[in-house]
Amino acid sequence: MILCCGEALIDMIPEETLSGVQGFVPHSGGAVFNTAIALGRLGASAGMLTGLSTDMFGAQLANALKDSHVDASHVIFSDRPTTLAFVQLKDGHASYTFVDENSAGRMLTPQDMPQQLPDATVLYFGGISLAVEPGADAYAALLDRHGAECAVMLDPNIRPGFIKDQSRFRKRLNHMIAQADIVKVSDEDLDWIVPGSQGLNEKASQVLGSGPVVVIVTRGGDGASGYLSDGTEVSVPVKRVQVVDTVGAGDTFNAGVLAELQRSGSLTKAGLRNLPADTLRSALSFGTEVAAITVSRAGANPPWAHEL
């Protein structure tokens, strides 16, 4: 099972009311949650480890996991509130205002993390859960505890506004990157992680040198590139569609990559160390295919397998 470890929250999406005044409609979301949902819909064996509230929004999130066939046995429930992300859309691109103080997801601690994960073969980490404490320390502790026995994919999805102590964040993130098998970043993420004037290829090589065996770099409308530790590079274009909005695009891309690697039998530590270039190219192509469907409709609404 691919266990997605990180935030689940409510995206408050703007929508005009009958009176003409703008309101907000609650949609289930969160970067890691979106990836779990997409995996479940694609038919991959997927689970979610997160903190959910017992409030009405937590129930909405739990029901959404169930509806998309995502295992929720590792969800940690509490009576703290659900994180809310108020979304503003401009030309199809989203910006967010978060309400996250003392939330069920943010307040997880290392002591909340399971000692055993007998059903998990892959761990996926990402999103704002890597930046907000104490939850960020909890996920880092989970990786310390189980990273050696599971294949690991990490998508930092850097949001500078969430980083209160940059030095502390970089230290924790670099420690997690060193334990990951796959690191996926946007070109902007890569420039933040590896400051300087080097090109993307040189920066990707520097990340590979810190521990991972696969680095994936997405470049928006310019496609995605994958780098292997032996120096191999493969690139794929994006699939051109009419973009409605980009909410959940990267999360769905990640799910497509993971699902295709799982289908090919390569989603193990040994398999990723010896990953053929053609297998990586196929995974990137599948990721762009499922992401194209997500951006062609409103909200983070990943496709089901039959829609492909």
Average pLDDT over residues 117-136: 95
For residue 134, whether the previous peptide bond is cis, meaning omega lies within 30 degrees of 0, is yes
Average pLDDT over residues 134-163: 95
* pLDDT score at 213: 98
Side-chain-side CA neighbours of 179 within 13 Å: the count stands at 22
Helix (H) or strand (E) holding 56: helix 56-67
* pLDDT score at 52: 98
Q: In angstroms, rounded to a whole number, what is the distance separating the alpha carbons of residues 87 and 85? A: 6
pLDDT in tens, 43-85: 999 999 999 999 999 999 999 999 999 999 999 999 999 999 9
* pLDDT score at 186: 95
* pLDDT score at 22: 84
What's the pLDDT band for 92 if we cut at 50, 70, 90?
Answer: low
In the chain, the percentage of residues whose pLDDT exceeds 70 is 97
Side-chain-side CA neighbours of 153 within 13 Å: the count stands at 31
Most confident by average pLDDT, 15-19, 117-121, 241-245: 117-121
pLDDT in tens, 277-299: 999 999 999 999 999 888 878 76
| pLDDT at residue 183 is higher than 90 | yes
Q: Is 193 helix (H, G, I), strand (E, B) or coil?
A: helix
Q: What type of residue is 271?
A: G
CB burial of 263-291 (b: ≥16 within 10 Å; e: otherwise) equals ebebbbbebbeebeeebbebbbbbbbbbb
Q: What is the mean pLDDT of the chain?
A: 93
CB 255 within 8 A of CB 42: yes
pLDDT in tens, 74-83: 999 999 999 9
Average pLDDT over residues 154-167: 91
**Maximum Cα–Cα distance across the chain:** 60
All domains of the chain in start order, with CATH: 2-307 (3.40.1190.20)
